[in-house]
């Protein structure tokens, strides 16, 4: 990706996390940005600084985009439902919010939320796991 594309992706991800009500500090945690990244860096990402090139970060972004797509499919007439769903306690995540599960459980939590929302992704993962047995 060129610099302009990286900036566009960065802005889109920050805007998505903002729409879910994720604080700047929690965005850093959710994205697993490098140690020492301060909440003020999120302001720079909103403007013109791209995310660092990192395979782990890109994996998280891929899952978060999958979650956003699944929420859009689940609630096509109400864009605000994504934020409501992300911040509502869910028994599937040990009576935590999906957002709390992702923050507390890291990549495993992000994947658990995606698996819960996206049956196609869940099927893909289940199919891959059964093929390796």
Judged by DSSP in three states, 76 sits in: coil
Q: What is the largest CA-CA distance in the chain?
A: 47
Judged by DSSP in three states, 118 sits in: coil
- Residue range 92-128, pLDDT digits in tens: 999 999 999 999 999 999 999 999 998 766 566 666 6
- Residue range 10-65, pLDDT digits in tens: 999 999 999 999 999 999 999 999 999 999 999 999 999 999 999 999 999 999 99
Could you report how far apart the first and last alpha carbons of the chain are, in Å? 36
Q: How far apart are CA 133 and CA 123, in angstroms?
A: 16
- Residue range 56-93, pLDDT digits in tens: 999 999 999 999 999 999 999 998 999 999 999 999 99
Residue entry with tokens 């998280």: 60
Is 90:96 a contact under the CB 8 Å cutoff?
A: yes
Q: How far apart are CA 39 and CA 57, in angstroms?
A: 17
């Amino acid at each position: 990706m060129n610099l302009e594309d990286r900036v566009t992706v960065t802005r889109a991800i920050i805007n998505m996390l903002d729409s879910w009500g994720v604080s700047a500090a929690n965005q850093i945690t959710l994205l697993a940005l490098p140690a020492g990244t301060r909440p003020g860096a999120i302001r720079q990402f909103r403007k013109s600084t791209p995310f660092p090139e990192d395979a782990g970060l890109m994996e998280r972004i891929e899952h978060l985009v999958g979650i956003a797509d699944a929420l859009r499919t689940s609630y096509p007439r109400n864009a605000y439902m994504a934020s409501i769903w992300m911040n509502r306690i869910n028994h599937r995540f040990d009576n935590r919010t999906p957002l709390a599960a992702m923050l507390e459980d890291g990549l495993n939590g992000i994947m658990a939320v995606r698996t819960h929302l996206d049956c196609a992704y869940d099927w893909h993962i289940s199919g891959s796991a059964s093929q390796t047995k």
